[in-house]
């Protein structure tokens, strides 16, 4: 306790400070790959925890790796991706509802710009053997 009191003189506990679930992802190669998968094949959010799956065939999904899941959730929070409608998907013999992940037009244009950028040249020369 900090000794702080409320309006009526009752002791008040310090508010619990919530830490972010995970640090932001700064790996541009991963972000570009996730955007490319979202644009080409697609992602699906399943269940109340919104577990991320990727489409492997029409209405058939597989679990995405954890690092891709975190990147998808980060892009959803930043509004670079958006949740779509509910559809029925199959996963290892089970069927159930899931939200599709949509790629807005502005995100598609920005991803294409990133793909077309020239890489930064190295400052040192490589040895030719």
Q: Per residue in 35-60, pLDDT tens?
A: 999 999 999 999 988 999 999 988 99
* pLDDT tops 80 at residue 14: no
pLDDT for position 43 = 96
Token representation of residue 15:
């508010």
In a domain, 11, yes or no: no
DSSP 5: B
Tokens of 95: 């069927």
The DSSP 8-state label assigned to residue 125 in this structure reads P
Does a structural domain hold residue 121? no
In a domain, 125, yes or no: no
51 in a domain, yes or no?
Answer: yes
Q: How confident is the model at residue 12 (pLDDT cuts 50, 70, 90)?
A: confident
Span 72-123, pLDDT tens digits: 999 999 999 999 999 999 998 899 999 999 999 999 999 888 888 867 676 6
Q: pTM for the full model?
A: 0.73
Instruction: Assess if residue 58 is contained within a domain.
Output: yes
Question: Does a structural domain hold residue 50?
Answer: yes
Q: How far is CA 118 from CA 113, 115, 121, in A?
A: 10, 8, 9
Q: Is the pLDDT of residue 70 over 80?
A: yes
Q: Let me know: does 54 contact 36? Beta carbons within 8 Å.
A: no
Structural domain for 37, as ranges: 28-112
- Give the model's pLDDT for residue 16: 63
At residue 90, the 3 state secondary structure works out as strand
Cα separations in angstroms, 35 against 2, 11, 65, 80, 91: 47, 50, 15, 9, 22
Cα–Cα distance for residue pair 11/1, rounded to 1 Å: 8
Please report whether residue 3 resides in a domain: no
15 within a domain of the structure (yes/no): no
Per the structure, how many domains does the chain have? Answer: 1
């Amino acid at each position: 306790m900090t000794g702080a009191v409320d309006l009526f003189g009752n002791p008040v506990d310090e508010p619990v400070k919530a830490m972010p679930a995970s640090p932001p992802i700064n790996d541009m190669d991963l972000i570009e790959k996730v955007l490319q998968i979202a644009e080409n094949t697609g992602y699906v959010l399943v269940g109340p925890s919104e577990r991320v799956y990727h489409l492997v065939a029409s209405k058939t999904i597989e679990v995405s790796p954890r690092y891709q899941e975190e990147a998808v959730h980060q892009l959803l929070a930043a509004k670079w991706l958006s949740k779509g409608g509910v559809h029925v998907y199959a996963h290892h013999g089970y069927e159930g509802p899931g939200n599709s992940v949509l790629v807005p037009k502005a995100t598609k244009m920005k991803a294409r710009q990133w793909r077309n950028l020239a890489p930064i040249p190295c400052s040192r020369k490589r040895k030719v053997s």
